[in-house]
């Protein structure tokens, strides 16, 4: 079955049309134009603000004119990741989708259900002629995945709504009422290079097949970080043989747990047997540690005799010491909500290439003071060995308000429709609600969505039956929006 034949048909058709448009973060020109053309084709007031957010306004349907104006909001950019063996150009190709039982997936790439399903749902409401709803201000923000600059720069004069429905949550029984804030830590250090001795042999070591995932929502699951594992291996080998580092590349996106890493090294031919045995023994140990989680962990090694330069030993030591010292994973659990990660950090990207050592990491917390604490811990690990640190891209969290009117309304509606309790919780991801709450003080906010798994990784998928549930819940919510 093709995606466009799924139900609800209008939503899936808009999702397929959206996924045909390349839309990486910070390269949203095409999808911005796509949304503008969509709004204009419906004859609706369509605005593009200075930063590139698109606002489409639709009047209330008959009989709903006295209800509060709602802001329906989703982001139009997506995380672009693919498997190492997948040939795909995100800048020119649309996402290739497949129906797999009750799930929709992509062929070796991220799917874009985060946040494309939310965008498609809003498009379906805007295009409808028979869905009852109050006045709508549809806010499609840019660059959520790499800095939330769209939400930060939204022009308040274009928004008058008093209730925000953010359609960017990944469990269909969950009503999100709070989220983590974040800050990026980027580091650089010049490293000295030297000639690799003539009697040395080169090798390329690769780690593939880790689960990866969202560095907020999945950080508590104990998944392996490819950068940390590769560093452990290098440190182990350094203790046993004279090893030189020529190249290192691990991870890809600042907000994804790194799934892959590659290192190019050189060792003396006299130590080849010791090196290979140490490599085999230690990678077996790492596989054993993660055997219950990372079932597809794959280490490989091959000779590479094209290497000519390597990092000098004292800089090599600085690199591995910094990576070892930097915290990674859960930093603190919330004392108020036992299942909620309060603060975390993820070492997302590490490179050593052409005389430069660089890293990218993202620190998150729902509490501003512990966000500063974990960010300072990361800074200290790098600065202690002379690595330059820049921290930027900071955005606030969203303080939960369990007694908000829209939360109460939607919780009661969920119980009525599904005969079960909704999960009312805060999440450890960075939702735009925290930023928009500061932009629009007093706006009542909630976030919800269908079941999405593996977001920010090529394993990303969205559940078809859950989209149907989400759609029905959204339509009933629109009917129940309170009076002005």
Do residues 387 and 447 share a domain? no
Mean pLDDT of 436-441: 91
Please say if the pLDDT value at position 431 is more than 90.
no
- Which sign, positive or negative, has the C-alpha torsion 320, 295, 145, 78? positive
DSSP, res 269: G
pLDDT band for position 146 (50/70/90)? Answer: confident
**CATH number, residue 366:** 3.30.70.360
Judged on CB neighbours under 10 Å (0-12, 13-18, 19+), 442 is exposed
Taking only the tens place, the pLDDT of each residue in 34-61 is 999 999 999 999 999 999 999 999 999 9
Per-residue model confidence (pLDDT) at position 329: 98
Token pair 């006045």 is at which residue? 135
Choose the catalytic residue: 28, 77, 168, 342: 77
Question: Which of 69, 78, 30 lies closest to 455 in space, CA to CA?
Answer: 78
Taking only the tens place, the pLDDT of each residue in 57-82 is 999 999 999 999 999 999 999 999 89
Active site residue 204: no
Per-residue model confidence (pLDDT) at position 479: 98
51 CB contacts (<8 Å, ≥6 apart)? 142, 149, 150, 153, 154, 155
Do residues 364 and 459 share a domain? no
Do residues 220 and 250 share a domain? yes
Do residues 115 and 264 share a domain? no
Residue 144: Cβ within 10 Å count: 25
Please say if the pLDDT value at position 91 is more than 90.
yes
Which residue, of 395, 420, 442, is where some domain finishes? 395
**Contact predicate 144/413, CB 8 Å:** no
User: Measured between alpha carbons, how far is 300 from 307 in angstroms, rounded to an integer?
Assistant: 18
Please say if the pLDDT value at position 361 is more than 90.
yes
Token pair 């090893």 is at which residue? 243
Token pair 């929006």 is at which residue? 481
pLDDT band for position 415 (50/70/90)? Answer: very high
- For the record, the structure tokens of 458 come out as 């090529």
Mean pLDDT of 419-442: 91
Measured CA distances, 257 to 27, 202, 220, 275, 416 (Å): 22, 28, 11, 29, 38
Per-residue model confidence (pLDDT) at position 84: 84
Please say if the pLDDT value at position 253 is more than 90.
no
Total length of the chain = 484
- For the record, the structure tokens of 230 come out as 């590769």
**Contact predicate 209/313, CB 8 Å:** no
- Taking each helix axis from N to C end, the angle separating 113-127 and 29-41, rounded to the nearest 10 degrees, works out to 20
Task: State the residue range of the domain holding 84.
Answer: 3-179+397-480
Q: What pTM value is reported for the model?
A: 0.75
Please say if the pLDDT value at position 147 is more than 90.
no
User: Measured between alpha carbons, how far is 474 from 451 in angstroms, rounded to an integer?
Assistant: 14
User: Measured between alpha carbons, how far is 359 from 323 in angstroms, rounded to an integer?
Assistant: 9
**CATH number, residue 450:** 3.40.630.10
Three-class secondary structure assignment of 221-257: HCCCCHHHHHHHHHHHHHCCCCEEEEEEEECCCCCEC
Please say if the pLDDT value at position 139 is more than 90.
yes
Mean pLDDT of 257-281: 97
Do residues 233 and 268 share a domain? yes
In the three-class reduction of DSSP (H, G, I as helix; E, B as strand; rest coil), residue 133 is classed as: coil
Taking only the tens place, the pLDDT of each residue in 201-240 is 999 999 999 999 999 999 999 999 999 999 999 999 999 9
DSSP, res 458: T
Do residues 320 and 423 share a domain? no
Mean pLDDT of 244-262: 95
Mean pLDDT of 249-266: 95
169 CB contacts (<8 Å, ≥6 apart)? 175, 176, 427, 431, 447, 448, 449
Do residues 267 and 389 share a domain? yes
| H/E run at residue 278 | helix 272-289
Which residue, of 395, 429, 462, is where some domain finishes? 395
Do residues 14 and 88 share a domain? yes
Please say if the pLDDT value at position 1 is more than 90.
no
Number of domains making up the chain: 2
389 CB contacts (<8 Å, ≥6 apart)? 185, 186, 187, 378, 379, 382, 383
Per-residue model confidence (pLDDT) at position 406: 97
Question: Which of 111, 113, 180 lies closest to 148 in space, CA to CA?
Answer: 180
Do residues 152 and 248 share a domain? no
Choose the catalytic residue: 144, 174, 249, 444: 144
pLDDT band for position 316 (50/70/90)? Answer: very high
Active site residue 373: no
Please say if the pLDDT value at position 337 is more than 90.
no
Mean pLDDT of 462-484: 98
Question: Which of 149, 126, 130 lies closest to 53 in space, CA to CA?
Answer: 149
Do residues 173 and 189 share a domain? no
Which residue, of 395, 428, 443, is where some domain finishes? 395
Per-residue model confidence (pLDDT) at position 427: 87
Please say if the pLDDT value at position 375 is more than 90.
yes
Do residues 263 and 378 share a domain? yes
Do residues 262 and 328 share a domain? yes
pLDDT band for position 338 (50/70/90)? Answer: confident
**Contact predicate 462/104, CB 8 Å:** yes
On average, the pLDDT of the chain sits at: 96
């Amino acid at each position: 079955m093709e995606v466009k034949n799924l139900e609800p048909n209008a939503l899936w058709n808009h999702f397929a049309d959206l996924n045909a448009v390349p839309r990486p973060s910070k390269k949203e020109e095409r999808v911005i134009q796509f949304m503008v053309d969509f709004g204009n084709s419906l004859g609706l007031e369509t605005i593009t603000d200075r930063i590139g957010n698109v606002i489409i306004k639709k009047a209330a349907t008959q009989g709903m004119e006295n209800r509060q104006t709602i802001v329906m909001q989703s982001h139009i950019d997506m995380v672009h990741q693919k498997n190492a063996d997948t040939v795909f150009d995100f800048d020119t190709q649309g996402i290739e989708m497949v129906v797999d039982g009750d799930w929709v997936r992509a062929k070796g790439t991220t799917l874009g259900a985060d946040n494309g399903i939310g965008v498609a749902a809003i498009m379906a409401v805007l295009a409808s002629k028979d869905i009852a709803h109050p006045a709508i201000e549809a806010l499609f923000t840019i660059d959520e995945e790499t800095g939330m600059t769209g939400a930060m720069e939204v022009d308040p004069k274009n928004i008058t709504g008093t209730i925000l429905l953010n359609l960017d949550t990944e469990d269909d029984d969950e009503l999100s009422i709070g989220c983590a804030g974040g800050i990026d830590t980027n580091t650089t250090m010049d490293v000295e290079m030297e000639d690799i001795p003539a009697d040395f042999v080169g090798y390329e070591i690769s780690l593939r097949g880790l689960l990866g995932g969202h560095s907020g929502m999945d950080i508590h699951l104990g998944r392996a970080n490819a950068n940390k594992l590769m560093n452990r291996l290098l440190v182990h080998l350094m203790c046993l043989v004279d090893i030189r580092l020529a190249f290192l590349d691990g991870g890809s996106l600042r907000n994804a747990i790194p799934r892959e890493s590659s290192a190019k090294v050189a060792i003396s031919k006299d130590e080849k047997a010791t090196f290979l045995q140490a490599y085999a023994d230690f990678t077996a140990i790492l596989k054993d540690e993660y055997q219950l989680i990372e079932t597809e962990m794959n280490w490989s090694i091959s000779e590479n005799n094209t290497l000519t330069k390597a990092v000098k030993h004292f800089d090599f030591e600085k690199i591995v010491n910094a990576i070892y010292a930097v915290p990674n994973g859960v930093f603190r659990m919330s004392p108020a909500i036992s299942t909620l990660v309060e603060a975390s950090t993820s070492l997302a990207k590490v490179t050593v290439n052409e005389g430069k050592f660089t890293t990218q990491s993202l620190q998150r917390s729902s509490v501003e003071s512990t966000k500063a604490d974990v960010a300072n811990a990361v800074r200290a690990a790098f600065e202690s060995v002379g690595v330059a640190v820049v921290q930027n891209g900071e955005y606030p969290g969203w303080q939960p308000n369990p007694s908000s009117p829209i939360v109460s309304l939607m919780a009661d509606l969920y119980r009525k429709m599904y005969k079960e309790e909704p999960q009312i919780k805060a999440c450890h991801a960075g939702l735009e609600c925290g930023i928009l709450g500061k932009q629009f003080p007093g706006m009542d906010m909630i976030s919800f969505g269908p079941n999405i798994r593996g977001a920010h990784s090529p394993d990303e998928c969205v559940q078809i039956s859950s989209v149907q549930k989400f759609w029905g819940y959204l339509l009933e919510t629109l009917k129940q929006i309170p009076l002005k």
